[in-house]
């Protein structure tokens, strides 16, 4: 692979290396179907493979992408060029193969409109299989929403407990866990509400991780940025978002964690890049953890639009992907500017 990934610490550090971030290509069959429908492309296994192949085979993508999160189906698929299994194909290019292992968010019994993520049943065996197939890290997402009454302490602790159980199993099976507690930004709440909830969730998550013996040096955190609700009237600007997010992380994330790979969470491509860039300019290397990205839609959307499901558009789609990947890579070092758009 060209990278020395003998230990989980080395894998975690390589995942959040400066100048690079993680490509989230782990949409479930249903979610990728919605994306393909946007470009009038049928949701078949062949089309899903063709689309993922376009992303993975972009020439030079490994300069900006450290690792790729895949869905179970994709992990079992192969490169269209030479039939190499994707785990081997990505590793040969210098990108670390990863796998989403949760089975989605479901209604939390005894609560009103809240979710808890499932997938712990049989997880130990699945992780063993994925590790054998070449995966080196995994991902589990918890979903928490902000309303007048939510989130409840019950919802936060149930999700934090599951995240920690998942993370402990990953490390036991020689995989780096990406721990993803996502506070959704749908709604009209302000940035202060977002801060309070994010702080409580991260405190609870790290308490559970500690309680269950998870090694902080061998994990990556994938949190939301602290934003105003998308339906809010007076939304916080780039500087305010960067400042609030950094303050929240400084209060909650242990220095032992090697890196933070933000999710984009429905932000526009440009906003996701600008917010990450501003945070890195503010800290100027003076934070214990690397601040990176693990984006799905905010990396892929321009490529998807350029592709339109047609083989003749693959080159243009890959150029669009490379541009976004490069701009986000620059943002991890605070070297992006909006003129580059």
Q: Which residues are catalytic?
A: 180, 222
| CB of 182 closer than 8 Å to CB of 198 | no
Please give the angle made by the CA atoms of 165, 171 and 173, to the nearest 5 degrees.
105
Cis status of the peptide bond prior to 151, with omega within 30 of 0: yes
Q: Are strands 65-70 and 21-25 parallel, antiparallel or unpaired?
A: parallel
What is the spatial distance between Cα 230 and Cα 238, in angstroms, rounded to a whole number? 14
What is the spatial distance between Cα 330 and Cα 1, in angstroms, rounded to a whole number? 23
> In 278-305, which positions are buried (b, 16+ CB within 10 angstroms) versus exposed (e)?
bbbebbeeebebbbbbbbbbbbbbbbbe
Q: What is the DSSP letter of 59?
A: T
């Amino acid at each position: 692979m060209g990278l020395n990934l003998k230990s989980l610490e080395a894998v975690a550090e390589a995942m959040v290396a400066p100048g690079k971030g993680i490509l989230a290509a782990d949409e479930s069959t249903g979610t990728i179907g919605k994306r393909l429908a946007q470009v009038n492309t049928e949701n078949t296994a062949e089309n899903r493979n063709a689309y993922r192949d376009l992303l993975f085979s972009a020439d030079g993508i490994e300069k900006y992408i450290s690792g790729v999160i895949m869905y179970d189906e994709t992990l079992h698929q192969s490169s269209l060029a030479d039939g190499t299994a994707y785990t081997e194909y990505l590793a040969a290019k210098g990108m670390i193969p990863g796998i989403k292992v949760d089975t989605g968010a479901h209604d939390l019994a005894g609560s009103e409109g809240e979710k808890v993520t499932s997938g712990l049943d049989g997880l130990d065996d699945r992780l063993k299989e994925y590790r054998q197939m070449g995966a080196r890290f995994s991902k589990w997402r918890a979903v928490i929403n902000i309303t007048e009454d939510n989130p409840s302490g019950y919802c936060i602790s149930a999700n934090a407990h599951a995240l920690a159980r998942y993370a402990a199993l990953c490390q036991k099976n020689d995989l780096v866990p990406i721990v993803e507690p996502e506070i959704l930004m749908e709604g009209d709440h302000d940035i202060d509400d977002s801060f309070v909830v994010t702080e409580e969730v991260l405190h609870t998550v790290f308490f559970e991780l500690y309680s269950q013996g998870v090694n902080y040096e061998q994990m990556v955190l994938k949190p939301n940025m602290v934003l105003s609700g998308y339906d809010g009237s007076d939304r916080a600007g780039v500087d305010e978002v960067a400042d609030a997010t950094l303050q929240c992380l400084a209060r909650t994330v242990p220095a032992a964690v090697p890196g933070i790979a933000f999710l984009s969470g429905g932000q526009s491509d440009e906003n996701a890049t600008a917010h990450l860039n501003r945070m890195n300019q503010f800290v100027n290397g003076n934070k214990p953890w690397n601040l990176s990205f693990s984006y799905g839609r905010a990396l892929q959307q321009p490529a998807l639009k350029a592709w339109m499901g047609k083989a003749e558009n693959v080159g243009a789609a890959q150029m669009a992907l490379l541009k976004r990947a490069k701009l986000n890579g620059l943002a991890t070092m605070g070297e992006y500017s909006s003129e580059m758009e």
